[in-house]
Every structure is written in C-alpha cells, then in structure tokens.
Structure 1
Amino acid sequence: MLSLLLFIPILGSILLLFVSDNEKMKKIALATSLLNLVLSIYMWVQFDSTTTQFQFVQSPNSIGAEGFTALALNFYQFNIGVDGLSIYFVLLTTFITPVAILSNYNNIDNTSGGLKYFLISFLLLETLQIAVFVVLDLLLFYVFFESVLPVLFIIIILYGSGTAKIRSALLFFLYTLAGSLFMLLAILEINTYVGSTDFQLISLSEINLESQKLLWLAFFLAFAIKTPLWPMTGWLYRAHADSPLAGSIILAATILKLATYGYLRVLINFLPDASHYFSPLVQTIAIITIIYASLATIVQQDTKALIAYSSIGHMGVVILGLFSNTIQGIEGAILLALAHGFVSPALFICVGGVIYERTGTRIINHIRGLVMYMPVFTILFFIFTLCNTGIPLSLNFLGEQLSLIGIWERSPLVAILGATGIVLSACYSIYLYNRVSYGSYSPHLKPLKDISRREFILLISLLIPTILLGIYPNVILETLHVSVTTLLYVL
C-alpha cells in the first residue's frame, strides 16, 4: 500500500509528459492527488493503533512482488512503513497536495515555466515528502529530507511572483542545505558507531551521552533551520513572499513538518539523554522565536510575509510541546502541527490567492473595506483568523493548550512565556483582519467579485477538519497514545 502512495504521483507525472491539453493536464494532476488521498485514508482506517510496531512494512522484495521493482535498490535496503508518529504526516501531505494544485488551477498557464512542469513538480514533491515520513533508514531519511530542496528551488525561480525571487530561492536552498550537511556527518558517525542506519537497530543501540550530545547538535541545527527557529528565520518569509500560492501552501503545511517529524523520530527517539540535557536550550530558543516572530508579524505590511512570520511563532509553541517530555505536550505539539497545516494554507489562500488575484497587491495599506463587495469571503477569512489565534472549538486551541500544559509540568515560567504567543497572535491576526475587511473602501481598488466556487471549496475543505478535529480530537489522540508513550524518557 505504501509503495502505491509513493508511485501514484510518479505515474501521474509520467502521464502528464504525454499530454499537451491544459485542461486534461489539470484533471490528471488533480485526480492523481485525490486518488492518493483516498488511498491514504484507507490505510489510516486499516491502521492498528494498539501497537508501537511499524505497519504496512515493505522491503524491496515485497515491493518487487507488487511490480514495483524500481524500489529494489541493490546497494541499500529500501524498507518503508508507518507508525503512530508518521501516519498523520502522511495524511496531511496527501490532503494538502490537491489543495495546492487547485489553488493555482486557473492562473499558472501564462507563467514562464509552463503548466505541465508546474503540475509535475508538485506531484513529485508529494512522493518525496511521503518518502521522508515512511522510510525506515536514517540515510534514506536524509536523502528525501534534502530532495525537496531542488524541486522547491525550481518552483520559486520559475513560478514565483516576487521581484527578488532568485534571492529568496537561493536563501532557502543554501540555508537548509548548509544545516543538513551537519546532519549527514552525524548519520555517517551513527553508521560507524552502530554499524547500520536502520531505525530499529539504532533504537536498540546504546550511545553514550557525550557522543549523543555531538550527534544531537548536528541534527538539531538541520531541523532548527527547517522549522525555522531564531535566529535562522530569514529564509522563510522571503520564500513565502516570492513563491507561487501553491508553493506557499506546501511550505507552510508540510515542508515545515519535516522538521517536526525529525524531532520526534531522531532527536527524542534515538538521542533521549541528549534531548533531556539540551531541553533548557531548546525551550529558550523556542521562547525567543515565539516573541520575536510575533512582534515582527505585527509590523509587517506584506500580507504573505505576515502569515509566514505567524507560522514561525506557532512552530515555536510546537517545539515547546515536543520537548516537554509529557504525553500532553507531545500530543499537543502534533495536534498543533496538523492544525497549522490546515489554517496557515487557508490564510495564504485568503491573502495570497483571493485578495491578491483581485487587487494585484499584497500591501495592507492599499486594501480596505473588502466587506462591502466580498461578504462571503470576509466571513470565511474571519473564521480562519480566529482559528489562527487558537479559539475554542478549533484544533489550534487544543494543540496550543496541550502543548502549554505539557511544558507547564516541567517549567511554569516557560509555559507563561510561551503563552504570550497566544496573546500576540490575537493582536496581529485581528489587526490584519480589521485593516483589510473594514474601514472606508480603498480608493486604489475597483469593485471586486466575491469568492468563486473553486475558492469556496478550497477554504471549506480546510475549515471542516479544523473544526471537526477541534470538537472530536480523540479521533487522533486515541491513535497517538501508544506511540507517544515510547518517546518519554526517565528523568
């Protein structure tokens, strides 16, 4: 089943190479991504949450038996599987990909890169991201962790709309590549120490504390840049501001979650002693990140840059939960990561899609009084703005509260400082909504049309899981309990 999840987007990409009609290409790409979504939901329904073992495990031999001999690498064991920590990131990836494709459904035809390669890029990204979450080998984790970089680099260069898109793409590429070189060195060291890079063999190995510290720092640098944490945040808002809408959606929803998964799978799971040792450092950096990003968000004038900075603040709360060493904190961090994967793309669709496509600007001072001509959009924008602030009945609320409750058990002071992010998020979110939606209608704008059916479907599809999972979180939590307990280490 996992091999199908990896290969369906590739097969869709190959099929696109032989199609020249734009409408057919769009339908093929959308149908391919939706098929993968249905398959991932079926896998989730079949998932057994009572065990900590990897499930749907496939090796090169079993994959070859299904006809996918391309995965039978002679030089390495390509084993894949999912557990409670990875299955929801796979689901998020398959859910967001059709949303990203549909977000640029009507406005990518006339760009310099062409529609065909745009669609192929996002289907390939889906395969590469799923591979990060399902491979059971640390070296292959690194390979796929880095393989998303050149694809995103090309997307920003060819399809980005900003005047500084080349600089933004280079910063994104160089920042993340430079940090990951240290991760590669750490993986090679683990291979020397353990004799393998297989997840299960590493988890059974005893690594002394001094070695764990060095390995932990190397991995943490790579993940901190991808999160991103202060002071390595400079690439994110530029990449968001200059990338196409679909690129911003993927960046916010899933690319940032590669680091979240890395913390869970590698740092906390394989290097628990070092994770405990460096927890005060991580918490300090997370607090600085939350406050810095929130204050920087308030003064932004570009709408996409504002949403990008808000993502940094929310990911800071995720880090606090992950390193709380409590069930509530870790589960809350996973919930908040998923909630961010729904709400942040919706806000990008609002400001970088609906508003930008109609007004041609992202400067907040040029946009006022949209409620006069766009009442339906204003209502949906308001709901997502509230969700971004973490109101009750939203998944964001549960994620933030559980993360802060978890870190409160370890350090009430850190929890109090982390909670300032909730107050500040309300400030910049409501401030943005009020300036854009109300006041006298901007003289820079002509009368605007309300949202289209396609845009309405996109926003509703992101709103439904945000609210439903906020009301019924046990759908996720009950399948997380067993896997999360394995991450707790004895103090």
Structure 2
Amino acid sequence: MNDFPILTVLWVVPLLGAIGIAFGPRGVIAKQAALVVSLATLVIGVAAAVQFDRDGSGFQLEETHTWIEAFGVHYALGLDGLGLLLVLLTVALVPIVVLAAWNDSPDDECKPWFAWALALEALSLVVFLATDVFLFYVVFEATLIPAYFLIGGFGRAKRSAAALKFLMFQLGGGLVLLGSVIGLYVVSADEGSPSYLFDDLQQLDISTSAGRWLFAGFFIAFAIKAPLFPVHTWLADTTEQATPPTSVLLVCVLDKIGTFGMLRFCLGLFPEASEWATPLVVVLALVSIVYGAFVAIGQDDILRLIGLTSLSHFGFITLGIFVFTNQGANGSILYMVNHGVATAALFLVAGFVIRRRGTTLISRMGGLEKVTPVAAGLFLVAALATAGLPGLSQFVSEILVLISAFDYRWYVGAIAVTGIVLAAIYALWAYQKMFTGPKDAALDAEVSAGGEGVVDLGRRELAVLAPLMLALVLFGFYPAPLLDVANPFSEQLLEHTGVHDDGPRVPAEAAHDGQSEDH
C-alpha cells in the first residue's frame, strides 16, 4: 500500500479547481484555470498509471478509512485494470474538451460551464476508483448534479426539457439501485458484521433468490446509465440539445459508468444471477445494436445521429460483457475506451462544423468539403472509426466482441454483425450529405461572397483533435498496451464467476505463459 494518497489527490484536484473557478474571477482566467487544473489532473493520472503493476491482481494503490462504522461504510479507493483504463480515458478527455469549449460562450459567461465540467470529472473519477459500494452509490448519484446543469444551462432551445428528462431517468435508476444497496447491507449484517467493502461483499454467501433480486436493481440502474434499450430514450434528446463538449463528457465519460458497473458489480458480486440473466441481457444488447444503428440512418440532426450511434455501441459493450469469455470481457473494456475516443472526435468535429454553418441539420451542410477539406477528412476518419474500419481502434474491440458472440451462439454473432453493416451506412451517409453532397444554396452564397464564416479548422481546433486521431490510429494497429492492462482483470473476473472459458486468450502471450508454467 502506497503511503501517499495519490488516488485521493487525483479527484480532489479537479474538485478544488471547480470550486476555485466557481468563486473566482470571470473572463479568460476561468478558461485558463480550467485548462491548467485539467492538465494537472492528467499528470496525476499518468503518475498513478506508472505506479500500477500490470501483472498484479486485485486492487492497487488502495486507501481505506472507516466512514460510518455502524453500517460498515468506508472511504475506500483502489485501482485495477478496468478502473485504470477508464480513469486515463477521463483525465485525457477533459483537457481536450476544455480546449474544444474555449469559444463556446463569451468570456464573461463561460465560468459556470468550466466549473461544472471539472466537478463532473472529479465525481466520475471517484466512481471509477470506489471500492466501497455505499461510497460508489453516493457518488454515482452525485454525478447527476453537474451533468444536469451542464445540459440545462448550455445548449439549444429545448435544453431544459432534455435536462429534466435526463434527470428523471437517472433518478429512477438510482432509486432502484438504492434498494439493492440496502439489500446488500441486510445480507452482510446477517452474515455477522455489516460491510460495504467490495472484497468483503465478494465473500458473502448470497442465496440464489436474493442474489437475483439484488442483481436486478444494479442492472436496471446501469442499463439506464449506459444506456441500453428500452431505457435509452433520454440519450438522443440530450445529445441533440446539449453542446458538443457537454455531450462528450456525458457519452464518453459519464455513460461508461453503466457498463463499468455491469463488469464491476453485476458480474463481480452476483455471478450466478448474471449468468441466469444472460439470455435476456443478450436480447436487449442485440436490440440496442440493431435498433440504434438503424434509427441513426437518415437522421437530419447530426448531434442526434451521433447519440443514437452510441446506443448501438453500448449494445456491443453489453453483449461482450455477458457472454462470459475472456475475449468478450477484453473486447468490452477496449470498446469503452475506443468508443470514448472515436465518439469524442465525432462530436467535436461536428461541433466545429456547426459553429461555422449555424445549424445542426445535415441537409443544410452540403458541399462543405470544398471549403473545409481538413474538417471533412477528420470527420470521415472519426465516422469510419465508429463504423469499425480495420486499422482504426474500434475495429479491434468489435472483432473481439463478435468472436465471443459467435462462440456463445452463432445466430447472436450473425445478428450483431448487422450492426456493423448499418454503421457503415449511417457513417458514409452522414459524410456524403454534409461534405460531398449537393451544395446548400446558402453556402454557395457565402463562398461567392468570399467565404466569410465558412473556413477550415484553426490551430486550436486541430490541437484538440490531433491526440484523438493519433489514438484512433495507434490503438488500431497496436492495441497491446490496452490489452495488457485489461487482461488480468478479465481473467480474475471470469475466475470469480466460475465460468470456464475454453476459447483463446487475449493477449495471446498470457495464454502461452500460463501453458509454459503448467508444463
């Protein structure tokens, strides 16, 4: 155990930054402070990653302090492979989002957005680090506060209604989760000494019926958060009305809590119930994959279209989780990271184009390729990444999930493959309509008048997108660093569930090492 509480420092820094910005001076200094704090958080996150032992098992860098002794509640943080990848995704995306939102609001009005963004980062980090279920629940609910104000306070005309819909869905899921959290206390108290520590809860002898009821509460909350069909309807409304940087924080960071929770708590605490529920969950995942991709085709609002594509992607992630294979678990973990990168790039390029055209409607953006070739090219790369083009990072994730799906049932894999076909259709359709399709009359007028208002990406915008594009290509050709971190967690999780996976291991080196040791 490390004497320096680096995990506490990791989330306290952005929280203090948010408070400082909220009560500090207005103007450009608020932006600058947000950027400095987000970069400092990134440095701390990288420092924690350097101390992390990739070959180790269980939680590392742990911090545990008694909080509410009578109920067995602790302030407990720890880091494993799953948490590390999502922590790094979060701390890497926030500085990018801060730069992307630099000019979204006048200097004297921008302070609240940056403060809420840092607050959401801080709370999300605690969620990914919490090793006490009660602490997890408290922060799980607390993330709704900054998220609500980010949606309702900034964006388009119907943002208040979208924020309320978001809040109602999330609060409903939180109430169901609370019932299961209380149920865990009852079960642990019956065992002798109540405790909410994750490691203690894993040792409980939970009856079959109790485990299935408790699993249901956790899964429903996480299905809403992810989201998964049929509790997904808040997603497209939210991305349509929120600003693109806000949508990045919601879809690429906050929504990952849902699939993170499925891995950590559903499979980690209720393996029997998770296996029992697998047929139903697989059906819901397949419906999400096909329905999300199908409905995205032909959407005229680009931000709504991107939101619906994420419904399809979360279906892939959930499918990989519940087929109980090493490849499926690793594919889902990689999918969470790669989806965060690709979808962030797609949202941000779309946002930059929207600022130039003054509309989110695809039908009014035709012919932009001639005046914004760089934006067109980067949008195409991000769109093809979301469609699973080989050579880009999301392809690796989808292949792993699809292999595991075919191993589970051939027809499950066959249905899931249609999601990739539909993804290619909506990605190329959106690109063609926005950039290479028939020219919009208003755009023609602007170009003939000198092109004012329609210019290509500037240096700040290129700086925002460059790391995302680099990650898409790098992890497309060399996913080993991600797999090396994810694999020990996946192996340990499958061992805990008691499901024997006869399929090949990912990465392959892990299997060879295990075989050599056996011999």
TM-score by length of 2: 0.89
Secondary structure in structure 2 of the residue aligned to 1:51: coil
Secondary structure in structure 2 of the residue aligned to 1:229: coil
Separation in structure 1 between the aligned mates of residue 110 and residue 384 of structure 2, nearest angstrom: 35
Secondary structure in structure 2 of the residue aligned to 1:59: strand
Matched, 1:6 2:4: no
- Give, in angstroms, the shift of residue 369 of structure 1: 0.4
Matched, 1:103 2:100: yes
Separation in structure 1 between the aligned mates of residue 296 and residue 46 of structure 2, nearest angstrom: 36
Contact 1:331 1:402 in 2 (8 A): yes
Matched, 1:297 2:296: yes
Contact 1:109 1:115 in 2 (8 A): yes
- Give, in angstroms, the shift of residue 372 of structure 1: 1.0
Per-residue CA deviation, residues 265-319 of structure 1 (Å, 9 max, x unaligned), is 1001110001111101000011111111111100211000000000110110111
Contact 1:328 1:402 in 2 (8 A): yes
Name the counterpart of 2:56: 51
Separation in structure 1 between the aligned mates of residue 328 and residue 224 of structure 2, nearest angstrom: 22
2:387 to 372, 386, 389: 389
| 1:254-273 matches, cutoff 5 A | 254-273=253-272
Name the counterpart of 2:144: 149
Name the counterpart of 1:377: 375
Name the counterpart of 2:162: 168
The amino acid of 1:86's aligned partner reads: G
1:487 to 493, 502, 505: 493
| 1:109-128 matches, cutoff 5 A | 109=106, 114-128=109-123
Separation in structure 2 between the aligned mates of residue 79 and residue 11 of structure 1, nearest angstrom: 20
Contact 1:59 1:78 in 2 (8 A): yes
2:413 to 397, 415, 418: 415
The amino acid of 2:28's aligned partner reads: E
The amino acid of 2:123's aligned partner reads: L
Name the counterpart of 1:460: 466
- Give, in angstroms, the shift of residue 74 of structure 1: 7.8
Per-residue CA deviation, residues 333-391 of structure 1 (Å, 9 max, x unaligned), is 1111111100111111121x211101110111111001110111111111111111111
Over 6 Å off, 4+ runs: 72-75
Separation in structure 1 between the aligned mates of residue 47 and residue 417 of structure 2, nearest angstrom: 37
| 1:3-42 matches, cutoff 5 A | 3-17=8-22, 19-42=24-47
Separation in structure 2 between the aligned mates of residue 216 and residue 60 of structure 1, nearest angstrom: 27
Question: Structure 1 residues 110, 11: CA separation in 2 closer, same or farther (over 3 Å shift)?
Answer: closer
Separation in structure 2 between the aligned mates of residue 439 and residue 414 of structure 1, nearest angstrom: 36
Name the counterpart of 2:3: none
TM-score by length of 1: 0.94
- Give, in angstroms, the shift of residue 443 of structure 1: 0.7
Separation in structure 1 between the aligned mates of residue 143 and residue 207 of structure 2, nearest angstrom: 33
Question: Structure 1 residues 14, 288: CA separation in 2 closer, same or farther (over 3 Å shift)?
Answer: closer
Matched, 1:187 2:181: yes
Secondary structure in structure 1 of the residue aligned to 2:442: coil
Q: Which runs of 5+ in 2 are unaligned?
A: 1-5, 189-193, 500-519
Secondary structure in structure 2 of the residue aligned to 1:444: helix
Separation in structure 2 between the aligned mates of residue 380 and residue 292 of structure 1, nearest angstrom: 27
Name the counterpart of 2:349: 350
- Give, in angstroms, the shift of residue 444 of structure 1: 2.1
Name the counterpart of 1:322: 321
Separation in structure 2 between the aligned mates of residue 150 and residue 81 of structure 1, nearest angstrom: 24
The amino acid of 2:232's aligned partner reads: T
The amino acid of 2:24's aligned partner reads: V
Separation in structure 1 between the aligned mates of residue 90 and residue 463 of structure 2, nearest angstrom: 18
Matched, 1:472 2:470: no
Secondary structure in structure 2 of the residue aligned to 1:278: helix
Between the two proteins, the alignment pairs up a number of residues equal to 477
- Give, in angstroms, the shift of residue 21 of structure 1: 4.6
